[in-house]
Amino acid sequence: MSEQLIIAGKPYHSRLLVGTGKYKDFVETRAAIDASGAQIVTVAIRRTNIGQIAGEPSLLEYLPSEEFTYLPNTAGCYSADDAVRTLRLARELLDGHKLVKLEVLGDPKTLYPNVIETIAAAKILVKDGFDVMVYTSDDPIIAKQLEDIGCCAVMPLASLIGSGMGILNPWNLQIIIENAKIPVLVDAGVGCAGDAAIAMELGCDGVLMNTAIAAAHDPIMMAGAMKKAIEAGRESFLAGRMPKKLYSASPSSPTAGMIS
Amino acid sequence: MQISINGNLKQFDGENMTISALIVTLNLTGKRLAIEKNGEIVPRSQFSETKLHDGDKLEIVGAVGGG
């Protein structure tokens, strides 16, 4: 398909972005990501285990930068300062890498985003030269403000992180999509392939997910299902659905030529 | 000298140890990591010339699985 997702000027043929957390091991992580067809993978930045055994494999060895675009995140950050600090470390860690996922949480119980801190961090990061994909609530006004700040993609939640509750407010997502001139990706809350397809049918440019794949009974099969759902949903959106009617006096089979 | 590494206090013999030497001591040679010293990022290119002093606070981070 020639139709591509452009993020910060770079084209991607896959509209599915995936996380790398919660897998059994790196082998399963890699297998699931291969099955998903994802080209952009999120990674978290954490303290190195000082006592680790030399030669112990690392995540990035299983996901080489020649094959994947890394999207370092700020998961676990509750303030703009912590998020900015984390992404500056990520940039150093990944040799000047600019594409990042900003998320600033407001509450450890729900992991609901703190949009005030998110906006503050976005301003600093954009000014500092980062390409910021920003996780936010499904508030259309906030989404627009984040775009105006200069974020390269806005990523509203479908429902809360790790909840698998699916798309709870398709109407807000539609308003965000209608208003946006940058890519809109649903991030968080997708639970199954049907949810991913619905997001794409709404007109989302892509979907970012982790738990829906990693916590499935068979993560690798689910990764494949998500790939197909994203593609099907996108084509369904582009094809343009038939109008909804309560009933129709227009059957699919001819009314003429009936036997009598 | 005593240095805080990722929130844990560690003792090292002698003064003027460089970050490069610390990486070897901690068995982290060849690992992809980023280091913050007293809140400031130390670029990798400066590891061999950056000296550590008693009371320094280091954060040593890497990439791990996450969503």
Optimal mutation site among B23, B24, B32, B45, interface A, most CBs of chain A within 10 A: B32
pLDDT of residue A1: 45
The Cα A186–Cα A196 span in angstroms is: 9
pLDDT of residue A162: 87
Number of folded domains in chain B? 1
Distance between first and last Cα of chain B = 38
Which pair of tokens denotes residue A47? 């303290």
The ipTM (two decimal places) reads: 0.93
Mean pLDDT of B19-46: 93
Indicate whether A55 pLDDT > 80.
Answer: no
Residue B19 lies in a domain: yes
Contact: B63, A72; criterion CB under 8 Å: yes
Contact: B31, A48; criterion CB under 8 Å: yes
Please answer whether residues B53 and A60 qualify as being in contact, where contact means their C-beta atoms are separated by less than 8 angstroms: no
- Determine how β-strand A40-47 pairs with β-strand A5-7: unpaired
The Cα B23–Cα B20 span in angstroms is: 5
- For residue A47, the cross-strand partners are B61
Own/partner pairs for A224-229, CB < 8 Å, 24+ apart? A224/A35, A224/A36, A225/A192, A225/A193, A226/A16, A226/A36, A226/A193, A226/A196, A227/A14, A227/A16, A227/A35, A227/A36, A227/A37, A228/A193, A229/A193, A229/A194, A229/A196, A229/A197, A229/A200
Active site residue A244: no
| Per-residue b or e along A92-125, where b marks 16 or more CB atoms closer than 10 Å to that residue's CB | bbbeebbbbbbbbbbeeeebebbbebbbbbbbbb
Which pair of tokens denotes residue A170? 């398709």
| Residues in chain A closer than 8 A to B37 (CB atoms) | none
CA distances from A43 to A132, A168, A254 (A): 15, 26, 56
Range of the domain at B8: 2-62
| Residues in chain B closer than 8 A to A54 (CB atoms) | 27, 29
Mean pLDDT of A83-94: 97
DSSP assignment of A145-169 equals HHHHHT-SEEEE-SSSTTT----S-
Which sign, positive or negative, has the C-alpha torsion A60, A63, A64, A69? Answer: negative
**What CATH code is carried by the domain that includes residue B30?**
3.10.20.30
The Cα A172–Cα A158 span in angstroms is: 10
The Cα A164–Cα A220 span in angstroms is: 17
Minimal Cβ distance to A59: which of B6, B61, B65:
B65
Minimal Cβ distance to B32: which of A52, A60, A208:
A60
Mean pLDDT of A181-193: 96
AA letter at B28:
L
| Residues in chain A closer than 8 A to B41 (CB atoms) | 88-89, 92
The Cα A2–Cα A24 span in angstroms is: 35
Helix ranges (H only) for chain A are 26-36, 59-62, 80-93, 115-127, 140-149, 170-179, 193-201, 211-214, 219-239
Contact: A54, B29; criterion CB under 8 Å: yes
Q: Quick one: closest CA in A to B39, which residue?
A: A85
Mean pLDDT of A186-213: 96
Query: Regarding predicted confidence, which is higher, A193 or A51?
Result: A193
pLDDT of residue A191: 95
Q: What is the pLDDT of residues A107-151, one digit of tens each?
A: 999 999 999 999 999 999 999 999 999 999 999 999 999 999 999
Q: Considering chain A, what percentage of its residues have pLDDT values greater than 90?
A: 90
AA letter at A110:
T
Minimal Cβ distance to B36: which of A89, A161, A208:
A89
Q: What is the pLDDT of residues A230-256, one digit of tens each?
A: 999 999 999 999 999 999 888 889 989
- Interface check for B14 against chain A (CB to CB < 8 A): the answer is no
Residue B67 lies in a domain: no
Select from A26, A66, A65, A19 the least CA-distant residue to A187: A19
Residue B55 lies in a domain: yes
pLDDT of residue A186: 97
Which pair of tokens denotes residue A122? 């976005």
Indicate whether B2 pLDDT > 70.
Answer: yes
